[in-house]
């Protein structure tokens, strides 16, 4: 059980069933984002919120299970696992896409790539974009191959801060799950209110990419992983779990299909929060009732296959979209983008991510720390060298004869 407060009445859930359904949800999320960016699904950007809710649930479930078993959380081990999971694929993306774009891309794209690269490496890309006043909606992708990584930065910042808070709440507490639930609920409420207060209907970039205004999606997922919520769901009578999962799934599907773009009415004044709640409820119910028809539907092979490469697919699809000639509305371009992105994601998963996560003994302990330091320094040197290699921009020419 994730926490000491979990009800003994809650039915056991095998990791296989849980993994299949949640892998399917990852697949839905990443395919939605891919469809949005290729112009096929105006509401597909909501896949990011589904990702956030999944991350909040899974990370909190992991943390509370460790609290239940040991009374605390090994932050060093937790952050080590997160680093092995996320850094290798990101480092390869930065090296291949960053260096390739700077050396062979047009000057404006090369300069924005150099500007973004170090901040991606520091997991602060979302705040860097806000500091540069880079409008997510009006300029997205025109001159930036790494702009989509704002969401990875939000997740990384959550992975840094949330375990610290869980450790503090669990220390000496017999009811760690209840305390974590209360904290997640209060913080998510504050995040929702802040989004509503700061929302700008003309340009919602600030509330869309700010960690403080997007934290609620992660936090409602975290709340759903706590003992009190799981115990409540376990007590639902008869067909309630399956029916509730079906209702949540229907709401999510309707939002993905019907929300008309990023400036839909009420999106930033409660709409995203309701979507996140539905996502968290669906996640928890799929874990609670893995044999429900909704969980079985999510466990179909195409969705779980996409889910298992979802991180790499998210990393690679946007640079492919930016760099590949053509655009939305061209069927050949869309098919090519999807094929190249999936191919790159499979290669990344098979050749980079899985070996480091599951088979590389050197990636743990002191040798793993040395590898992280080496990669970090190597990428920093790369940015410095590329700044030197990149030619200076041409001087601005003003035709004074036209001033009159």
CA 246, CA 396: separation in Å to the nearest integer?
59
The answer for residues whose C-beta is within 8 angstroms of residue 46's C-beta and 6 or more apart is 32, 252, 255, 256, 259, 272, 275
At 251 the pLDDT is 95
Crossing angle of helices 15-37/240-258, nearest 10°? Answer: 20
CA 148, CA 209: separation in Å to the nearest integer?
10
At 394 the pLDDT is 58
Q: How many CB atoms lie within 10 A of CB 361?
A: 8
At 10 the pLDDT is 35
CA 357, CA 363: separation in Å to the nearest integer?
8
At 6 the pLDDT is 36
CA 220, CA 25: separation in Å to the nearest integer?
16
Nearest to 213 by CA among 231, 200, 198, 195: 195
**Model-level pTM?**
0.89
- Paired tokens of 140: 């997205």
At 403 the pLDDT is 47
The answer for residues whose C-beta is within 8 angstroms of residue 131's C-beta and 6 or more apart is none
At 173 the pLDDT is 62
At 5 the pLDDT is 35
Which portions of the chain are predicted below pLDDT 70? Answer: 1-18, 133-143, 172-173, 391-404
At 170 the pLDDT is 87
């Amino acid at each position: 059980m994730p926490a000491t407060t979990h009800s003994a009445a809650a039915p056991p859930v095998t990791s296989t069933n849980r993994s299949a359904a949640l892998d399917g949800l990852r697949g839905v999320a990443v395919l939605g984002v891919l469809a949005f960016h290729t112009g096929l699904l105006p509401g597909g950007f909501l896949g990011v919120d589904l990702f956030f809710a999944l991350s909040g649930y899974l990370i909190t479930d992991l943390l509370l299970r460790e609290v239940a078993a040991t009374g605390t959380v090994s932050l060093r081990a937790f952050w080590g696992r997160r680093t092995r999971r996320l850094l290798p694929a990101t480092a390869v993306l930065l090296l291949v896409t960053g260096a390739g774009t700077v050396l062979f891309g047009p000057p404006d794209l090369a300069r924005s790539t150099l500007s973004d690269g170090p901040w991606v490496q520091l997991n602060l890309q979302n705040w860097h974009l806000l500091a540069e006043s880079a409008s997510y909606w009006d300029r997205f992708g025109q001159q930036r191959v790494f702009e989509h990584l704002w969401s990875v930065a939000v997740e990384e910042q959550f992975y840094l801060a949330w375990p610290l808070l869980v450790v503090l709440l669990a220390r000496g507490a017999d009811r760690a799950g209840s305390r974590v639930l209360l904290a997640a609920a209060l913080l998510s409420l504050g995040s929702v209110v802040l989004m509503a207060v700061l929302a700008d209907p003309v340009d919602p970039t600030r509330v869309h990419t700010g960690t403080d205004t997007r934290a609620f999606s992660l936090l409602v997922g975290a709340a759903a992983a706590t003992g009190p919520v799981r115990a409540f769901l376990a007590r639902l009578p008869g067909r309630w779990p399956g029916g509730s999962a079906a209702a949540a799934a229907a709401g999510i599907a309707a939002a993905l299909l019907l929300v008309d773009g990023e400036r839909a009415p009420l999106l930033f004044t409660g709409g995203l929060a309701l979507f996140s709640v539905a996502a968290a409820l669906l996640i928890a119910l799929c874990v609670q009732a893995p044999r429900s028809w909704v969980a079985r539907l999510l466990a179909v092979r195409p969705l779980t296959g996409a889910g298992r490469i979802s991180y790499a697919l998210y990393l690679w699809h946007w640079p492919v979209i930016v760099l590949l000639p053509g655009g939305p509305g061209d069927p050949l371009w869309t098919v090519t983008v999807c094929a190249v992105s999936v191919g790159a994601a499979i290669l990344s998963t098979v050749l980079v991510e899985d070996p480091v996560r599951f088979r590389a003994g050197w990636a743990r302990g002191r040798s793993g720390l040395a590898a992280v330091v080496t990669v970090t320094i190597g990428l920093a040197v790369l940015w410095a060298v590329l700044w030197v290699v990149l030619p200076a921009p041409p001087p601005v020419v003003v035709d004074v004869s036209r001033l009159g």
